[in-house]
Structures are given as structure tokens and as C-alpha cells.
């Protein structure tokens, strides 16, 4: 059984295959020629954390592919009342064709997948957000910033060398997912985080080991200027994620110098793009001017969640056919 839990579980070719499929599906959707790839299939969507983009994109995505989605919040199912994950997984997977889960502890989704009889997609966990990274890289491709790859659906790349991505901010699930995308595809990633807020050591070390094989270059530092200098992509995330609200004031102090503003963007490549997984808190991790500026691709990136996730679902269905 193939699942989609982290990018660590996929090969470079598989990641690019999904991106290629997502671009194809987007092109078909725009020209109103998209086949019903998942006709009569049912996606269960288990939400233990609130969501805007993840819920709307998966629910709309499965519908556009010819299937239907069932929203299952933690308050509506027995999982929220203490039913063991393995019991919930075995029961609902016997009635569904695929499950998407958005949860806290990554171990919960791993256990769910272990007992599921259908493919499971990680819609977000505390350690990883892989579906977001597929949308991010898809956006990079559409903007001409990507690794060389032969495909009918890839635009001609504008970069003459490997992309340089600067991630500014908390070493959270987004930073971890950027580490694995970089390590698998082989580009350059620079992460700038305040001391004490770096990516988890074991995840960083695993990505560094993979980077030895792919040729990826990974730098983790606390200097925004070093990270952004010459970058093709500048990206960030909220300083306090869901469940960290009690740390908000402490984090605002720690991250005060980590706002991506116009001065920061001037250090990047002149054709660099700005990405953010959203929701964004203006004048905290990003300035209003940058978020609404010409280099910002955040709303293209957000829309690409729909198409990237359709690509993931179709790919998983084919892998497990």
C-alpha cells in the first residue's frame, strides 16, 4: 500500500511524476477537458485541526475528479471521544477509497496508515506538510524556477542553475518539508531561524544524509541576509502555528528580525518570487508590501493546492490499483 505521508517516502522521479500529473490536470481543468479520473470514488477527510485551504482544496478536488468527499471533524467521530486510532482506521477505510488526515502528532497519522486498507494522505501534521510543498514546487515550475526536467507540461525554465530557496522563520513542519523536497530533488535550501527555533535535529540529519546522494545543498543559520542573498525563492510561515497560541508573545520577540519585507527581498535575485503557505499575518512574518507585491505568488500557490492534491490522489489511485 502506497501512502503520501512525507516526501521522505518518495523518490525524486515519483515527486516529479506527481508534479507533472498535477500540471496536466490543471491544464485539462482550465480547458474543461479534465476526465473524471476518480469517478464514484469516496475520500474521507479526517480533521483534528481546523483548516481553510486543505479542506476546500481536497473537497473541491475529489468532486472535480468525479468522486465525493466526506468531512469528518474530530468533534463528529468517535476518534474525538477516545476510540483507538487503529479501530477508526480499520472501520472507515473499509468503507472508503482514500483517506486524508490532518492531525497533531505525526505518529497518529503513521498509526492510521498502518491499519488502513486504503491510501492515506497527510493533510498536515506537526512535523510535516507535504501536500503544501507539492503546491509550492508546482508554483515554482510555473514561474520558471525548477530543476531541469523533461516534460510536456513543464514550461521552459528561466534559471540557468539549481534553484536557491530561502526559508525564513520557524523550523516547523514547513521547514521540515522544504528540507525533504530539497534533499530529494537536489537544489539549494537555506533556512534562517532564531536560535532555539531551528528544525528538529533528527529530521535535519536525515535530510543531510539524503542530500549526499542528490547533490542538494542545505544551510541552517540564524542570519536572514545570508539566507536570502541571491535566492530565487523566498518563503516563510507564521511564527506561531496552531497549538502554539500560548507562545505568541514570546515568539514575536524571538522572530522580530525575521519579517520578510521589501528590504529583505532586495537581497534576493531580481526575478525571485515570494511564497507563503497562508494564513499570513501581515507585518509579522511578512510585510503587506511584499505579500501584495508583484513578486508574491501566494495566491497562485494557494490555488495550486487544488491541482497538486488532485495529482496526488490520482497518482495514489494508480499506484494502488
Give the tens place of pLDDT for each residue, 15-63: 999 999 999 999 999 999 999 999 999 999 999 888 899 999 999 999 9
Q: Record the pTM.
A: 0.95
The region of weakest confidence among 55-64, 83-92, 196-205 is 83-92
Is 305 annotated as catalytic? Answer: yes
Q: Which residues pair with 197 in a beta bridge?
A: none
Q: What stretch of H or E contains 318?
A: helix 298-319
Task: Please return the burial class of 40, using the count of CB atoms within 10 Å of its CB with bins 0-12, 13-18 and 19+.
Answer: exposed
- Annotated ligand binding at 129? The verdict is yes
Catalytic residue among 132, 295, 309, 317: 132
Q: What is the pLDDT of residues 158-183, one digit of tens each?
A: 555 789 999 999 999 999 999 999 99
| pLDDT at 74 (0 to 100) | 79
Catalytic residue among 55, 190, 276, 305: 305
- Annotated ligand binding at 241? The verdict is yes
- Annotated ligand binding at 277? The verdict is yes
Domain architecture of the chain: domains with CATH: 7-128+302-319 (3.40.50.1370), 132-299 (3.40.50.1370)
CA atoms of 88 and 90, how far apart (whole Å): 6
Catalytic residue among 3, 24, 97, 102: 102
- Annotated ligand binding at 64? The verdict is no
Is 277 annotated as catalytic? Answer: yes
| pLDDT at 4 (0 to 100) | 98
How far does the chain reach from its first CA to its final CA, in angstroms?
A: 10
| pLDDT at 157 (0 to 100) | 53
Q: Of 80 and 292, which is predicted with more confidence?
A: 292
- Annotated ligand binding at 173? The verdict is yes
Binned at pLDDT 50, 70 and 90, residue 83 comes out as confident
Catalytic residue among 190, 277, 307, 317: 277
Is 129 annotated as catalytic? Answer: yes
CA atoms of 204 and 193, how far apart (whole Å): 13
Binned at pLDDT 50, 70 and 90, residue 155 comes out as low
CA atoms of 176 and 205, how far apart (whole Å): 11
Binned at pLDDT 50, 70 and 90, residue 271 comes out as very high
Average pLDDT over every residue of 114-137: 98
Phi, psi of 29 (to 5 degrees): -65, -45
Q: Map residue 262 onto helix, strand or coil.
A: helix
Residue-level length of the chain:
321
CA atoms of 111 and 89, how far apart (whole Å): 9
The region of weakest confidence among 90-99, 106-115, 234-243 is 234-243
CA atoms of 14 and 34, how far apart (whole Å): 22
- Annotated ligand binding at 237? The verdict is yes
The rounded mean pLDDT for the chain is 94
Is 170 annotated as catalytic? Answer: no
Angle at which helices 201-214 and 173-185 cross, to 10°: 20
CA atoms of 279 and 286, how far apart (whole Å): 11
Amino acid at each position: 500500500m502506497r501512502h503520501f505521508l512525507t516526501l521522505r517516502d518518495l523518490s525524486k522521479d515519483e515527486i516529479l511524476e506527481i508534479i507533472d500529473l498535477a500540471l496536466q490536470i490543471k491544464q485539462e481543468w482550465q480547458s474543461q477537458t479534465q476526465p473524471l479520473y476518480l469517478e464514484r470514488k469516496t475520500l474521507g477527510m479526517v480533521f483534528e485541526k481546523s483548516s481553510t485551504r486543505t479542506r476546500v482544496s481536497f473537497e473541491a478536488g475529489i468532486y472535480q475528479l468525479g468522486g465525493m468527499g466526506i468531512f469528518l471533524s474530530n468533534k463528529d467521530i468517535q476518534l474525538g471521544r477516545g476510540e483507538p486510532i487503529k479501530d477508526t482506521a480499520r472501520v472507515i477505510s473499509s468503507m472508503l477509497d482514500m483517506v486524508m488526515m490532518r492531525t497533531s502528532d505525526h505518529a497518529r497519522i503513521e498509526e492510521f496508515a498502518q491499519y488502513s486498507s486504503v491510501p492515506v494522505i497527510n493533510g498536515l501534521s506537526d512535523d510535516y506538510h507535504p501536500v503544501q510543498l507539492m503546491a509550492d514546487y508546482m508554483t515554482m515550475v510555473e514561474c520558471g524556477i525548477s530543476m531541469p526536467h523533461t516534460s510536456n507540461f513543464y514550461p521552459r525554465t528561466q534559471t540557468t542553475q539549481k534553484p536557491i530557496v530561502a526559508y525564513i522563520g520557524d523550523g516547523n513542519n514547513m521547514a521540515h518539508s522544504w528540507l525533504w523536497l530539497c534533499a530529494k530533488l537536489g537544489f539549494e535550501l537555506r533556512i534562517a531561524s532564531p536560535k532555539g527555533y531551528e528544525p528538529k535535529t533528527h529530521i535535519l540529519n536525515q535530510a543531510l544524509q539524503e542530500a549526499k546522494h542528490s547533490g542538494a545543498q542545505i544551510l541552517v543559520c540564524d542570519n536572514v541576509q545570508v539566507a536570502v542573498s541571491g535566492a530565487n525563492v523566498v518563503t516563510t510561515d507564521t511564527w506561531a502555528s496552531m497549538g502554539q497560541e500560548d507562545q505568541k508573545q514570546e515568539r514575536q520577540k524571538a522572530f522580530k528580525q525575521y519579517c520578510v519585507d521589501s528590504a529583505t527581498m532586495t537581497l534576493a535575485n531580481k526575478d525571485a518570487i515570494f511564497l507563503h503557505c497562508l494564513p499570513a499575518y501581515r507585518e509579522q512574518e511578512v510585510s503587506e508590501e511584499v505579500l501584495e507585491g508583484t513578486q508574491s505568488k501566494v495566491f497562485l500557490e494557494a490555488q495550486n493546492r487544488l491541482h497538486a492534491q488532485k495529482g496526488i490522489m490520482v497518482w495514489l489511485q494508480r499506484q494502488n490499483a
